[in-house]
Structure 1
Amino acid sequence: HQGKSKEQIIEDISRGDIHPDRAQQYLDAILTKPATQDVVTYALRTDPDLQDLGEQLTKIGIHPDYLELHKELALVIPPVADIITMAVREVFTPEIAARFGQYEDFPAPLEEWGLKKGLSKEWSERYWAAHWALPSATQGFQMLHRGVIDRDDLDRLLRAQDVMPFWRDKLTQIAFRPLTRVDVRRMYKEGVLDEAGVYEAYLDHGYAEENAKRMTEFTIRQTLSSQAK
């Protein structure tokens, strides 16, 4: 039927076994129609509220009982991985997210274009709240040292960095500098550290147990030698 007008096609159909009163209906039935998902995608781009989606789906033969189903499924729920990221970024704890300003500077176009992709305003806001770059753990330790944040804030940062609960307190413990070897010797000499404290201080420096014992013995002998002079 290429090159023929619609009227000519209807006439041809009427000359066949199709009753003339049903020719238009027959033509509508045999014409290629977009896939259901294409109709939904187009509706999201042109009518994000989906007011006319039911009518458009009916035209391609979707049963009326399933129109609401397709309308509901048109709205996207993010992948599980994204939801987990949102959770560790405190997106589902609004009071914490608000304290960190995660919803600030939300751009209006994101809502508009998010709707065209099937994202509700709430999900677009959650994506925005979770998108911010975080300070590194090292920067977090430095802020803790300088009194800019407290341990609770540091714990939240490590949580947002996906550090497992088991490791957070342990990482915090090694965030503090150990006593220098010079300080260890001075403190032992002044009686601030005892032999066990000296040994622990050298372990903190990363010495193997045997070498920590040797360093402890050296410190004691050096102190006694200096005091004997």
Structure 2
Amino acid sequence: MQETRDEDIIKHISMGDIHPDYARTYLDAVLTKPASQDIIAYELRKDPSLASLPDRLRKIGIHPDYNPLYKELAYQIPPVADIITMAVREAFTPDIAAKFGQYEDYPPDLETWAMKKGLSKEWSQRYWAAHWNLPSPLQGFEMLHRGVINVGELNMLLRALDVMPFWRDKLTQIAYRRLTRVDIRRMYKAGVITTAEVYESYLEHGYNPKNAKRMTDFTVAWAMPKHASITRSDILTAYKNRMITRTEASDLLADMGEEYFHREFMLKAVDYK
């Protein structure tokens, strides 16, 4: 069949029940034709306005009444997942997107090639606005600490990172650094924080309530006047029981006037035991 000339095929058709005047029409009707999707894809590449689409569709038997339907469906709407990404990246709020420079460096060729895929200029711009990489939450926290951004801008970043609203303010709360354990002791001794705040500060360090109470008692005892102060033995016992770290024990001994050599000797003796 593939090697047979059209003239011979038409001749054979005419020898059947088909009138010779309609043999060519019959041949055109039985030949395989592209699917409508393939025709649309081809026409988009040739002319995104789809000016020739009605003629092409008619040749494969599409009723003219349905031409507007095929033309409308030729222009794509992105998948829902992409639309959601665009929404959280402010692609549907052009004023905000422009503020963040999300349309900058938009390449003209992107519009051309996107149209060939059935995407309008508006959709290609939204894709571009949503494609940028974002700072991590930790980078956002650091920018907040340095005064580069404010809390509202940090919240916008967390939103763009798809952080659920319930968690945003909670993440912001832990963005701030805690008081160190040395700071807690010294601030309590100076009267800057209360005993209750000492306890809360140790809870924030991850101590369970029982150990946070112990650490609070230890801090209160440490901060007492010299005549009622904790002893070196108390400090070494606390270090031995891992209530405080080696660095903290060394700092406490230094506060009591011990030189570095003596501190190291006492702490190594505890380690050896």
Q: Which consecutive aligned stretches of 4+ in structure 1 deviate over 6 angstroms post-superposition?
A: none
Residue pairs, 1:81-120, within 5 angstroms: 81-120=81-120
Alignment partners' CA distance in 2, 1:227 and 1:79: 74
Alignment partners' CA distance in 1, 2:210 and 2:96: 48
Structure 1 or 2, whichever has the larger Rg, is 2
Structure 2 equivalent of residue 191 of structure 1:
191
Q: When the two structures are aligned, how many residues end up with a matched partner?
A: 229
Aligned partner letter, 1:65? D
Q: Is 1:207 aligned to 2:187, yes or no?
A: no
Note the alpha carbon deviations across 1:11-63, whole angstroms, 9 max, x for none. 32223221122111111111111111111111111111111111100100001
Please give the TM-score of this superposition, normalised by the length of structure 2: 0.81
CA distance 1:227–1:180, shift in 2 (3 Å):
farther
Higher relative CO (CA 8 A, sep ≥ 6), structure 1 or 2?
1
Structure 2 equivalent of residue 179 of structure 1:
179
- Note the residue ranges of structure 2 that are not aligned, 5 or more in a row: 230-273
Alignment partners' CA distance in 1, 2:99 and 2:3: 66
Structure 1 equivalent of residue 34 of structure 2:
34
CA distance 1:174–1:10, shift in 2 (3 Å):
same
Aligned partner letter, 2:184? V
Please report the RMSD computed on the Cα atoms of aligned residues, expressed in angstroms: 1.3
Aligned partner letter, 2:3? G
Structure 2 equivalent of residue 139 of structure 1:
139
Structure 1 equivalent of residue 241 of structure 2:
none
Structure 1 equivalent of residue 51 of structure 2:
51
* 1:225 Cα deviation after fit: 4.6
* 1:228 Cα deviation after fit: 4.2
Secondary structure at the aligned position of 1:218 is classed as helix
- Note the residue ranges of structure 1 that are not aligned, 5 or more in a row: none
* 1:197 Cα deviation after fit: 1.1
* 1:127 Cα deviation after fit: 0.6
Alignment partners' CA distance in 2, 1:100 and 1:166: 25
Alignment partners' CA distance in 2, 1:87 and 1:186: 49
* 1:193 Cα deviation after fit: 0.7
